[in-house]
Chain A
Amino acid sequence: MDKDALFLRMVQDFADQEVAPLDMDIDKNRKIPDSLYEKMVKAEFLGMNLPFEYGGANLSLVTIAKTLEIIATANASLAVILEGHMKTVYQLLRYGNERLLQHYFPAALKSIFAFSMTESTGGTNPSYINSTARKVDGGYIINGSKIMITNGGLADVYVVMAKDEDETLSFYVVDEKMAGFSYTEAEEFIGLTGTPVGGIAMENIFVPDYHRLNPINYPSLTIGDSAHADARVMMGAVLAGIQQHALNEVLDYAKERKAGAQKLWELQTIQRKIADISIGYQTTRLLYQDAALKRDLDNPEYFLLSTMAKAYGSRTAVTVGDDAMQAMGAYGFSAEFPIAHLIRDARALEFAEGSVEKMRTEITKFEAQR
């Protein structure tokens, strides 16, 4: 019996029944409605990559990524909330110690996790961040402020990057109940408006020793790159979902709308656009699914493929949106149709988890140094 297929059927039902009808409202109101959020938690979506012992489903990344594609086809903001959470859970599983997991994972089915590197002084260039971790008896004192965190404000638990006294970049787990923790302003991003992206301030937060992630656990990638790689696989899936959504919209429209005696889709100029949308969508899928499979098989090439999935998928999804908009005429340009927000949603992923420029540098380095 293919249990993953059974699970994905449930995901499809959830997306069709609960998420898709709210897509336009989510974009407009800049928020996932509480009732949808509660249903998502109740259906255990936060446990997809959590081990069985914590009530999770321990799914493969292939299945998780397919899940995100299905959810993103209905609404990308909700899928990115899940991506941000699971990316963080993956790093805790990879680099966290048993005590840390036992401390945070029992609540992970109900509470959201976030991963925070970016600061006002360092996005693409993390060595310029200013957050610090100072060793004290039994733990560390963390100071600094973080911005642009996916799920910032919504999450309870944050993995944060800080500079140790010897300038190494290390990762620590803080949570909103700790003394010295506070939230700063949320970003007013123009895309993925239903995903909360916000900042935190850390003032003399004490964290015990076991809250520090250990890079030795998985030496072939730095913790930052490992988080990027997992996030990029899942973002590739989100981008495939955005493209599938655009494809569905443009097909529905072009099969109905007449251009003189013909249907829109019968015109060669429109066919060029629909074909390119379809090719872009399938190519993005192939990239993210191959990357996910390689991660499941612990093949180190997944970092490269995940980077391609996001670099290719994000620009392609923006172009796909643009083609869909043009094919639908001025209706595509109307706020009554989702195309505009699909473009804005896709555009966000040309920055998040590494700008497309930085990713091209990474891909080239990888190829040149093979």
Chain B
Amino acid sequence: MKIVVAVKQVPNTDNVAIDPITHNLVRSNDNKMNKYDKHALETAFEIAAKNDDEVVAISMGPNQAKEVLAEAIAMGASKGILLSDRKFAGADTLATAYVLAKAIAKLTDVRLVIFGQQAIDADTGQVGPLVATQLAWPQLTYLYEIMAVDAEEITAKRNLGPVSQTITANYPAVLTISDLANEPRYLSAHRLMTMADDAIITWNAEKLAAEDERIGLAGSPSAVRAIVEPKEAGRQGKVIEAASAVEQVLAILKSEGMIR
């Protein structure tokens, strides 16, 4: 069967730049694969090796996003599908998920769809769950351990901060993977350099029979109004009376929301 892994190209920087006019992320020429997606790929390869599955990488983005698909193929995926069309531009998480779900629905024999738990540029963590909703498939999110994968179902552990949850689902299912799940392999230079020219194919809006009002800006109900950078407050000092020092410190900590 097939395991589809969604991969995203993100800027190769920790300092995400925001266009002051469009409020979109500034695209740069220096990009890389979202790090969580590498964990998603590794999960896919490990499951695929046990079940003789085929791993297919998929990405929505401009033509240069072929680079992350090539990287996924060099890591072990058999092929890449680029979802690219000028009409997809300006998509929010909902419109992105719609396009991805349309593409996944075109594929036959899908066992799992695997996402990274979030992308490091916008950090929403929404696309995986939205795709699951649109496909009406069960979703297992924030996974940090795959416990069992057999012919009928998958059991995995979710990382919910202080608690963890063990959960089982039937196929087809959607997973999102935490960076605690595994140590992703490095790409194989041999696979990269010998990659076939047709290993990456491109599907556009027409090919997906995507409805115009559900893609791109038109299909994106959310708009970023402003992005503010938290200002560094720096060290501050305050002189307090010795007699009531404890009460005053407690009051300050409470008013700052540091204690309840």
Which A residues fall within an 8 A CB radius of B?
A: 1, 3, 6-7, 9-10, 13-14, 42-44, 47-48, 52, 55-59
Contact = CB atoms under 8 A, between A and B. Distances in A.
Given A6-B187, A10-B186, A13-B186, A52 B71 contact: no
7 contacts: A1-B67, A6-B187, A42-B186, A44-B190, A47-B190, A55-B190, A59-B193
Nearest to A14: B186
Interface in B1-40: 12, 32
A36 to B, nearest CB: 13
Given A42-B185, A42-B186, A57-B193, 11 more contacts: A3-B70, A3-B193, A6-B74, A9-B12, A10-B71, A10-B187, A10-B189, A43-B185, A48-B189, A55-B190, A59-B189
B188 interface: yes
B108 interface: no
A56 B188 CA distance: 9
Interface residues of B, number: 17
B186 A57 contact: no
B32 A57 contact: no
B74 to A, nearest CB: 7
B192 A43 contact: no
Contacts of A1: 66-67, 70
Please list the 8 inter-chain residue pairs (A to B) with the smallest Cβ-Cβ separation, ordered nearest first: A57-B189, A43-B186, A57-B193, A57-B190, A10-B187, A7-B189, A55-B190, A3-B192
Contacts, number: 48
A57 B186 CA distance: 14
Contacts of A13: 186
A9 B190 contact: no
A152 to B, nearest CB: 27
Residue of B74, B185, B190 with most chain A CB atoms under a 10 A cut-off: B190
B194 interface: yes
Given A6-B70, A6-B71, A6-B74, A52 B194 contact: yes
Interface string B190-229: 1011110000000000000000000000000000000000
B195 to A, nearest CB: 8
Contacts of B194: 52
Contacts of A10: 71, 186-187, 189
B32 A56 contact: no
Interface of B: 12, 32, 66-67, 70-71, 74, 185-190, 192-195
A6 B192 contact: yes
Which residue, of A3, A42, A47, has the highest number of chain B Cβ atoms within 10 A? A3
Q: Which residue, A6, A13, A52, A59, has most C-beta atoms of chain B within 10 A?
A: A6
Nearest to A50: B190
A7 to B, nearest CB: 5
A44 B190 CA distance: 8
Nearest to A57: B189
A52 B190 CA distance: 7
Nearest to A3: B192
Contact of B193 (A9, A14, A42, A52): A52
A42 B185 CA distance: 9
A48 B193 CA distance: 11
A131 to B, nearest CB: 36
A6 B190 contact: no
A26 B256 CA distance: 47
A269 B205 CA distance: 62
B62 to A, nearest CB: 13
Contacts of A48: 189
A48 to B, nearest CB: 7
A232 to B, nearest CB: 23
